[in-house]
Amino acid sequence: MFKRGSFIYSILKFKCPRCHEGDFYISHPYDLKRVGDFHHHCSECGFKYEKEPGFYYGAMYVAYALAVALFVTFWVSFNLFFTNVPIGWQIASIILATIVLAPYIYALSKPIWAKLFITYDKDAIQRYKESTHS
Ligand SMILES: [Zn+2]
């Protein structure tokens, strides 16, 4: 759907923000024991994911924004398309959706945050392989 190198690709595929090849996370978002655990370095380009200690604290603002966007999406669709749903069911479904999607929102927040600072570099893998084999 999205091409490698586009802003959204590495985020939705949970790939390295620099080369878009190596995996960012150790596991998938619903592996709750390891939720949010990411590799130290990209396996393909050697990029260090945590640029500095606490770098990903900023990702909580992204997670918050995504949760608000989810809430607004539900609220607007109830008010436009499902106007006969009682308010209690509206609130319950928003809470349920937030709980069910929380690991996914959390997993999305870190690659989005990283992507705000790190740009795609199509030559990163090549340069890394040259530097490690010489
Ligand atoms: Zn990489």
What's the pLDDT tens digit per position in 1-27? 678 888 899 999 999 999 999 999 999
Residue 99 has pLDDT above 70, yes or no: yes
- Residue pair 105/66 in contact by the 8 Å Cβ criterion: yes
How many angstroms separate the alpha carbon of residue 97 from the centre of ligand 1? 32
CA of 29 to the centre of ligand 1 (A): 20
Rounded CA separation 134/130 (Å): 6
pTM check: above 0.85: yes
Q: How many angstroms separate the CA atoms of 19 and 114, rounded?
A: 13
Q: Residues 33-52: pLDDT tens digits?
A: 998 899 999 999 999 999 89
Q: Which residue do the tokens 């997670």 mark?
A: 63
Instruction: Name, in order, each residue with C-beta under 8 angstroms of 130's C-beta and a sequence gap of 6 or more.
Output: none
% of the chain exceeding 70 in pLDDT: 99
- Expressed in angstroms and rounded, the spacing between residue 76 Cα and the centre of ligand 1 is 38
User: Is residue 6 helix, strand or coil?
Assistant: coil
Distance from Cα 61 to the centre of ligand 1, integer Å = 24
